Amino acid sequence: MIDLREFGLCPEKYPGETGGIARVTAVHKERYELICEQGKCYGRLKSSVYFTAGEEEFPTVGDFVKISFNPVGDSVILHTLPRQTFFSRRDPTPGYPLEQAVAANFDTVFVVQSLNENFNIGRLERYLTQAWQSGAQPVVVLTKADLPGDHAPKLTEARAAAPGVEVVAVSAKTGEGLDALRPYLLPGKTLVFLGSSGVGKSSLLNRLAGEELMETGEIRKEDGRGRHTTTHRQLFRLPGGALVIDTPGMRQLGMWDVTGGLGEAFPDVEQFLGKCKFSDCRHESEPGCAIRRAIAEGVLSPERWESYRKIHGEAMFSGTKEDLRRKKQLRNKQLAKNMRQKRKAGL
Ligand SMILES: Nc1nc2c(ncn2[C@@H]2O[C@H](COP(=O)(O)OP(=O)(O)OP(=O)(O)O)[C@@H](O)[C@H]2O)c(=O)[nH]1
Ligand SMILES: [Mg+2]
């Protein structure tokens, strides 16, 4: 029997749930890889719960789910247990502007960028906003520290863009800096790696694991971009007992409602909000604008204000609960229909 606490389950967070719990370790199209008390198994969603009723959250990697275990075939996933933390983006399915959970139930988010052409403060700020929104603690991990050049200015820039967040430079190649990550790699704790393709997420995972758990791929010579080597999300248990979720570098990172995350990612900006003379101040040329004053007095960086404004403008604010519920039902029904059609066509 496997003790799911070794896979991050905190039973006290799910009072009243006795047995039949599994953790999602990987998501394939319609099939989920799970770890449960009996060991590794596969599961499929119970259609009447997930599609017909259409309100249940689709499981994502890291989720805890209730299952009906089947020792000879696929188990049935009955219910997604409430998430403690989750990282979400806008569902890229055309026509369904909904929230999509990318990973769930992690303690720490490693926001990964590499110390080459990939390094980009705007992207870092976006990832950090989403990481804070997830409810977990972000850490900025700058990879490829072995590459030639002086990385100090990039570290300084990253620290300025990540108030209250630890910024570490590491190399999966030489092992440099990895000790700084140890405090996050504790038994039963889950971390998720997020960052663009080619930054070295899977390489870092392999280095920490001491074996080739995930395939890695060369980046393009022309622009340093990755080739989307990792194609699915997967949770691994490291030899020391920490759990790591590796994700594919995501092309579009559409932002869902990040109201809370913005406040935590931009405490330097937020401290001046709500202090203007007019409550509907647009922070343009209105008199008594606290933001403009802070910038003029040099206590707020204009770049940080600009980033905040941009991210705020991009985020999707979720509308009413009723509106969302309806959209979700519609989408789930449409998905169920697509799946039936594919099955009929033998795809
Ligand atoms: N010099 C150097 N190269 C590295 C390091 N880490 C990764 N790389 C290289 O960067 C390339 C991409 O690494 P991956 O680990 O596949 O990147 P990834 O972030 O998992 O990319 P996706 O799976 O596409 O999202 C490979 O050629 C690696 O060898 C490092 O610390 N130093
Ligand atoms: Mg990868």
Q: Is 257 in the pocket of ligand 1 (CB under 6 A)?
A: no
Check: CB of residue 93 under 8 Å from CB of residue 182: no
Task: Give the ligand whose atoms come closest to the C-alpha of residue 112.
Answer: 1
pLDDT value at position 93? Answer: 65
Side chain identity at residue 125, one-letter code: E
220 Cα to the center of ligand 1, angstroms: 11
Task: Considering only residues 14 and 317, tell me which one the structure prediction assigns the higher pLDDT.
Answer: 14
Atom 5 in ligand 1: residue holding the nearest Cα? 144
Does domain 266-314 fall into CATH 1.10.260.40?
no
pLDDT range class, residue 68, cuts 50, 70, 90: very high
Check residues 141 and 52 and name the one with the higher pLDDT. 141
Dump pLDDT digits (tens) for 70-113. 999 999 999 999 999 998 887 766 666 677 788 999 999 999 99
Per-residue confidence (pLDDT) for residue 293, from 0 to 100: 96
Domain 4-82 classification at class level: mainly beta
pLDDT of residue 7: 97
For residues 347 and 115, which has the higher predicted lDDT (pLDDT)? 115
CATH 1.10.40.50 domain position(s) in the chain = 266-314
- Is the CB of residue 225 below 6 angstroms from any atom belonging to ligand 1? no
What was the pLDDT predicted at 215? 80
Q: Which residues neighbour 136 within 8 Å (Cβ) at sequence distance 6 or greater?
A: 85, 106, 107, 108, 109, 192
CB-ligand 1 contact for 206 (6 Å cutoff)? no
**Of 147, 204, 216, 252, which is best to mutate to test ligand 1, by the most ligand atoms within 8 angstroms of its C-beta?**
216
Q: What is the number of the ligand 1 atom nearest to the C-alpha of 230?
A: 23
- Could you tell me the distance, in angstroms and rounded to a whole number, from the CA of residue 246 to the centre of ligand 1? 13
Instruction: State the average pLDDT over residues 166-188.
Output: 96
Would you say the C-alpha torsion 177, 143, 265, 317 has a positive or negative sign?
negative
Three-state DSSP state, 214: coil
Give the CB-side neighbour count of residue 21, counting CA atoms within 13 A. 23
Identify the pLDDT of residue 51: 79
Report how far residue 245's alpha carbon sits from residue 86's, in angstroms, rounded to the nearest whole number.
12
What pLDDT shows up at residue 96?
A: 60
Whether the per-residue pLDDT at 327 is higher than 70: the answer is no
Which ranges in the chain are annotated with CATH 3.40.50.300? 101-246
Q: Which ligand is nearest to the CA of 218?
A: 1
Q: Is 217 in the pocket of ligand 1 (CB under 6 A)?
A: yes
Mean pLDDT of 7-13: 92
> CATH number of the domain at 101-246, out of 3.40.47.10, 3.55.10.10, 3.40.50.300, 1.20.20.10?
3.40.50.300
Tell me how far the alpha carbon of residue 259 is from its chain's centroid: 16
The residue nearest atom 6 of ligand 1, judged by CA position, is 200
Q: What is the pLDDT of residues 265-282, one digit of tens each?
A: 999 999 999 999 999 999
Average pLDDT, integer, range 26-33 = 89
pTM, entire model: 0.88
* Pocket probe mutation, ligand 1, options 181, 203, 207, max atoms within 8 Å of Cβ: 203
**Which residues have CB under 8 Å from 284's CB, separation 6+?**
none
- pLDDT 10s digits, 297-322: 999 999 999 999 998 888 765 455 56
- Which ligand lies nearest to the CA atom of residue 203 in the structure? 1
